[in-house]
Amino acid sequence: MADLFKLSAFDLVAKLKSGAVAPTQAVEAAFDRIAAVEDDIRALPTLCKDRALAAARQIEASGDARKHDPTWLAGLPIAVKDLNDVAGVRTTYGSPIFANHVPDRSDYMVERLEANGAIVIGKSNTPEFGAGGNTFNQVFPPTVTPWDTRMTASGSSGGAAAALAAGEVWMATGSDYGGSLRTPAAFCGIVGLRPSPGRVANGPNPFPFDTIAVEGPMARNVRDVALMLDAMAGIHPGDPLSLPAPALPFADAARPDDRPRRVAYSRDLGVSPVHKDVADACDRAVEQLASAGWEITEDIPDFSKAMETFHAIRAAYFAAGKSELVAAHRDMWKPDNIWNTERGLTQSGMVLAEAERQRGILFQAMVAFFETHDLLLAPCTCMPPFPVGISSPSELNGYIFKDYMDWLQLTAMLSITSCPILSLPVGLTPEGLPVGMQVCGPPRGDRGVIAAAFQMEKLLGLAGSVPIDPRKF
């Protein structure tokens, strides 16, 4: 059982369903691996072994009645991001205000995963309230990528991505507003899917009609991400946007199929600076796709107003959700989050109205784009992993970033389109750091994104690059 952590989630679930591995053995294997690597990456600050073993024993006692159910994970250990409530488990949201908070109830996503045989073994680290592309906070030590433990795992799902890359878990939950799931996936060389809004039920949520913040699956390869999405997806009465589970499992899409007929690729979406090492890795990947017969164009929608639109909507979101906490505990907030909240409180109604108008224009442009293209490809991040001590990058290629979110333009601009987007490892920098590419499909086209990403993964040959032992320099 010593090498269980090296198995894919798909293979381990098969062994759990067959009885070759017991859920308690999988839980023990996860905690053995955590003991071996956690001090180096600091990904899972809160663990719940007794709770996990109790759940494992309960699954063992229940028999194998669901072993043919594609949504059944059969006792697979997972990590849950510290933004999501898990009943009876410390949940801090990365904030000292909630440093000792223990919720009585889990959120909808966790309830569904546990009902489908997932076993929560701990909480993954996140920046304060999930804001920012570097996983540090005032409660726990910062999280680093196992590819180079001097570098950040990015954020805000940095703990989840690092835990997966180092083999602590086989699946982990992530969430994504401006790239919080995709950028850590890129910095840690794993796969993450920002699904269509409503694909994974969200709540209980004070903003149930929000379509930018989504929950999604993270794993080590495309097939495992699809398997996890099957266990997460489905309608919930508490989420007015939630979608029914698909008639056919998403995991069935992760298999060889006809290649996309037409794909657009952009290094920068016409807006963002991009580091040469990232651009070169993505260019090489696209060249491999073209050699395999994919038709590649450079035709993309106009994103020139997308970041301004994103900022206005995000600021209103902060003002609505965080203004009372900022007023009551200002000294306990990091400055970036205070800035975001105050921007929302002071921007005019006209600014927000124009942002909503521009978002509609961009959405219609994306709909038109997907009438002639199957996918839009772009880098996940504008730069490779940077030192963990840097809160957020200040400049790139002479471009001065305006704020802590500005370096995340490539993901943030696509967030407001409501399209499903998968982060896929596509190469390495000369220093051996992972580079990720966004695979964006049409609205509610999650299945097609998974199918295409699975083909890309096979063509590019990077599947199996993780888990790795943390690399200390």
Known catalytic residue at 472? no
**Which H or E element spans position 110?**
helix 108-115
Q: What is the β-pairing status of strands 144-145 and 171-176?
A: unpaired
Return the number of other C-beta atoms located less than 10 Å from residue 15's C-beta.
17
Is the peptide bond between 467 and the residue preceding it cis, with omega within 30 degrees of 0? yes
Catalytic residue, from 180, 242, 272, 392: name it.
180
Q: Which two tokens stand for residue 26?
A: 């999988």
> DSSP string spanning 18-54?
HTSS-HHHHHHHHHHHHHHHHHHH----EE-HHHHHH
Q: Which of 95, 124, 154, 156 is catalytic?
A: 156
For this structure, is 81 an active site residue? yes
Whether residue 156 lies in the annotated active site: yes
Beta strands in 57-117 (DSSP E): 76-81
- Beta strand pairing status for 76-81 and 171-176? parallel
Q: Which amino acid is at 171?
A: M
**What residue ranges in 64-177 does DSSP mark as E strands?**
76-81, 118-124, 144-145, 148-152, 171-176
Q: What does 231-269 look like in DSSP terms, one character per residue?
A: HH-B--TT-TTPPPPPSS-GGGGSS--PPPS-EEE-SST
Q: Which residues pair with 296 in a beta bridge?
A: 263
CA dihedral 335, 180, 120, 75 (to 10 degrees): 180
The pair of structure tokens assigned to 398 is 């002479």
CA dist., res. 148 & res. 165, Å (int):
11
DSSP per position, 313-359:
HHHHHHHHHHHHHHHH-GGGS-HHHHHHHHHHHHS-HHHHHHHHHHH
Q: Which whole-number Å values give the CA distances from 398 to 133, 183, 308, 324, 403, in the listed order?
A: 20, 22, 20, 38, 15
C-alpha span between 275 and 399 (Å, rounded): 11
DSSP state string for 352-399: HHHHHHHHHHHHHHHHHHTTT-SEEEEES-SS---BTT-SS--EETTE
Tokens of 153: 């795992």
Active site residues: 81, 156, 180
